[in-house]
């Protein structure tokens, strides 16, 4: 019988790394074809196309490169692929997933995966994660779910997933909502039904700049005061607690929010910003009155990507709609 077509792209990252010499540390060296050879059973499940699009640690990925990867993925769908799998480093995996998910307008799944252990390390998790990701990409129930991250036997939606541990195998989780599915005995099991997605058109410009600053105890305002002078088109602040700033930072937000979009997120790692609880100067009610938008459950890093894309699409006026909780964390 005819096997379904599956397209795999390798971008680099730990999953592709090995040491060139003892004591020198691991670097990206392993091609997509070599990664594919580590999971030979895939050849009995799909007709696989694999390409090495990069050999980069994920900290060095940028929007321009991801744009080219998106174009490659779109072309593979046009050529009949039923799913796309991309391997990359885990350091920016949650951000890459968000970038793709906001632009992925196909029913076919796009699945991201990587590894926490290098290819030559004992107990390397790359082959298992790749096989799991391919199983998700080939499963019909993965359709209309947008972009997902598969790591350590779990399936996470792009909106919710975060890297919450720097080196552990169980580095990825979805705070508050949990994974969307699990892989057990080689089978994909979804825990929630498909939900309506909000996809942006492709950006008309890519030169916009969005700054991300983090509030901290007794922090000075020098960078904040110069955001407009430096030519930034948007600003995201990882605020204290439920989205709060010091009084000195709050004074600067006034002038900035009159000129460019400002989003206040929480730096906590889990939970939402508030909207109508705290009334002190620098509390979320005060910041909203000054023109800032509250990120809700959207983490600061993902809020920056969302704002960058909205500005590129000239839809920054729609920011409030994309930050609504029922858009990012719908319930069945």
Catalytic residues, which ones?
A: 14
DSSP letter for each residue of 250-309 = HHHHHHHHTTS-EEEEESSSSS---SSS--STTSHHHHHHTT-EE-TT--HHHHHHHHHH
Whether the CB-CB separation of 172 and 89 falls below 8 Å is answered with no
Whether the CB-CB separation of 102 and 309 falls below 8 Å is answered with yes
Measured distance between the N- and C-terminal CA atoms of the chain, rounded to whole angstroms = 36
Where helices occur in 139-227 by DSSP H, the ranges are: 222-225
H or E stretch covering 111: strand 110-113
DSSP reduced 3-state for 116: coil
Q: Which of 100, 106, 125 is nearest to 35 (CA)?
A: 125
Q: Look up residue 198 and give its two tokens.
A: 């909000």
């Amino acid at each position: 019988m005819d096997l379904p077509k599956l397209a795999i792209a390798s971008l680099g990252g730990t999953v592709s790394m090995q040491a060139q010499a003892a004591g020198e540390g691991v670097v990206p060296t392993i091609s997509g074809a070599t990664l594919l050879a580590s999971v030979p059973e895939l050849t009995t499940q799909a007709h696989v196309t694999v390409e090495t699009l990069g050999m980069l640690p994920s900290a060095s990925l940028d929007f321009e490169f991801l744009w080219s990867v998106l174009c490659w993925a779109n072309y593979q769908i046009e050529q009949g692929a039923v799913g796309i799998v991309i391997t990359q480093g885990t350091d920016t995996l949650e951000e890459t997933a968000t970038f793709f998910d906001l632009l992925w307008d196909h029913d076919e799944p796009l699945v991201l995966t990587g590894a926490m252990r290098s290819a030559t390390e004992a107990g390397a998790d790359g082959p298992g994660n790749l096989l799991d990701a391919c199983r998700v990409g080939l499963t019909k129930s993965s359709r209309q779910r947008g972009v997902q991250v598969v790591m350590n036997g779990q399936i996470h939606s792009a909106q919710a997933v975060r890297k919450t541990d720097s080196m552990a195998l169980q580095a990825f989780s979805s705070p508050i909502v949990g994974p969307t599915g699990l892989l057990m005995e080689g089978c994909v099991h979804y825990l929630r039904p498909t939900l309506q997605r909000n996809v942006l058109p492709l950006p008309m410009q890519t030169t916009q700049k969005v700054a991300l600053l983090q509030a901290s105890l007794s922090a000075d305002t020098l960078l904040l005061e110069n955001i407009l002078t430096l030519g930034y088109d948007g600003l995201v602040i990882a605020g204290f607690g439920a989205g709060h700033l010091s009084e000195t930072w709050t004074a600067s937000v006034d002038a900035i929010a009159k000129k460019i979009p400002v989003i206040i997120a929480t730096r906590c790692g889990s939970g939402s910003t508030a909207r109508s609880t705290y009334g002190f100067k620098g509390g979320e009610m005060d910041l909203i009155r000054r023109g800032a938008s509250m990120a809700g459950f959207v983490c600061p890093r993902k809020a920056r990507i969302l704002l960058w894309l909205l500005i590129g699409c000239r839809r920054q006026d729609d920011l409030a709609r994309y930050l609504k909780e029922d858009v990012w964390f719908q319930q069945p």
